[in-house]
Amino acid sequence: MKIRGAPAIGIAAAYGIVLALENFLEQEIDSPYRYFFDQNEEVKQFKNSSVKIGDMRKVTLEASHVLEQTRPTAVNLFWAIGRMRSVIGDESITQPLSMARRLFKEAVDIYYQELDQEFAIGEYGATLIENGMNILTHCNAGGLATAGYGTALGVLYRAQEMGKKFSVFADETRPLLQGARLTAWEMSQRDIPVTVLCESAHPSLFAADMVDAVIVGADRIAANGDVVNKVGTLGLAVMCEKYGKPFYVAAPSSTIDFSIERGDQIPIEIRPDEEVTFYNGKRTAPPSAGVYNPAFDCTPAELINAIITESCVITNPSRNDIKSMLEGNS
């Protein structure tokens, strides 16, 4: 949990594989990292070393297996690792230096591609934000969770850049308070008016007609449009249905896992009890009590008004074919 947020996890895994390679190469070569990107540097040291490309493949593949075990839910992790493995397994790469440079380039590409996608998501999503709106978001799907701009929050940033005025409700997002700690901070940094509340106060906001729309990110989206995201997301979608407000999900299309048919088939990470029973070192529940602490929940597609991707806005994902909409716009 030092790194969180689906896009950030994917990018970190790609760079993690590069770091594993760098650590390995350091045994043979002084400052191996500079060879990754300096085309003009004499590569004698690399060529004179006894580094074998087979060992490089082995070390990076091992690192990819370790990284794969860190978080089960966000698909970006597996997607980014999959891209790195394609390079690791590419038999057309025969030189150690080429392999190092190709792996580094792949990680950089993943990072820039994610960032570009976030800008594109912001562009599409900002059309849904109107002047004077009060927008509720959950957890943190901003720069601190992504390549640096944000998915759900990127939409708000783009709307702000377009001159739209709106205010944001950021729920605190128990147990780890990403909403209070991260989203409220990001909003404050950009001078977007933000109000923090406990999740328990969501229904009051809806009942008092103080929310015009909800926008969240996603950790994994099934082929049918069901969205797995931070626990509590489902409750907001149910509130939107009950009170007739739009519920939006902002995520790159790489978050959609077409290998999984329905959201209830996506594994949900169960986090440690102590996240709930301790806070800031102080126990908050009796030791004899059990704990239920899922990190994510699944929102069925029929509760979602739109999934905002980098290539199109998928409206009513339960009634539209997601794959053909994406292909029609790619």
What is the b/e burial string over 284-293, where b = at least 16 CB atoms within 10 angstroms of the residue's CB?
eeeeeeeeeb
Say whether 149 sits in a helix, a strand or coil: coil
Burial class of residue 80 (count of CB atoms within 10 Å of its CB; 0-12, 13-18, 19+): buried
Name the residue nearer to a copy of itself (CB basis): 72 or 235. 235
Determine, following the binding rule CB under 8 A, whether residue 220 of this chain makes contact with a copy of itself. no
For the window 294-313, what string marks contact with a copy of itself as x by the rule CB under 8 A? x--xx---------------
Q: Which long-range contacts (CB under 8 A, 24 or more apart) does 33-42 make?
A: 35/97, 35/100, 35/101, 36/100, 36/101, 36/103, 36/104, 37/101, 37/104
Count of residues in contact with a copy of itself, rule CB under 8 A: 55
Determine, following the binding rule CB under 8 A, whether residue 148 of this chain makes contact with a copy of itself. no
For the window 200-219, what string marks contact with a copy of itself as x by the rule CB under 8 A? xxxxxx-x------------
Say whether 137 sits in a helix, a strand or coil: strand
Residue 142 Cβ vs a copy of itself, minimum distance, rounded to whole Å: 13
β-strands 278-279, 282-283 pairing: antiparallel
Query: Among the options 55, 116, 212, 219, which is catalytic?
Result: 219
Determine, following the binding rule CB under 8 A, whether residue 280 of this chain makes contact with a copy of itself. yes
> Of 39-47, 83-91, 149-157, 189-197, which part binds a copy of itself (CB under 8 A)?
189-197
Determine, following the binding rule CB under 8 A, whether residue 239 of this chain makes contact with a copy of itself. yes
Per the CB < 8 A criterion, the answer to whether 301 and 225 are in contact is yes
Cβ contacts of residue 281 below 8 Å, gap of 6+? none
Q: What angle do CA 313, 152, 13 make, to 5 degrees?
A: 105
Residues in 89-118 that interact with a copy of itself by CB under 8 A:
none
> Of 19-27, 101-109, 118-126, 184-192, which part binds a copy of itself (CB under 8 A)?
184-192
* CA 280/CA 177 separation, integer angstroms: 12
- Determine whether 219 is an active site residue: yes
Name the residue nearer to a copy of itself (CB basis): 110 or 196. 196
Binding site for a copy of itself (CB under 8 A): 169-170, 172-175, 177, 180-181, 184-185, 187-188, 193-205, 207, 230-232, 234-235, 238-239, 241-242, 268, 276-277, 279-282, 284-286, 288-294, 297-298
Catalytic residues: 219
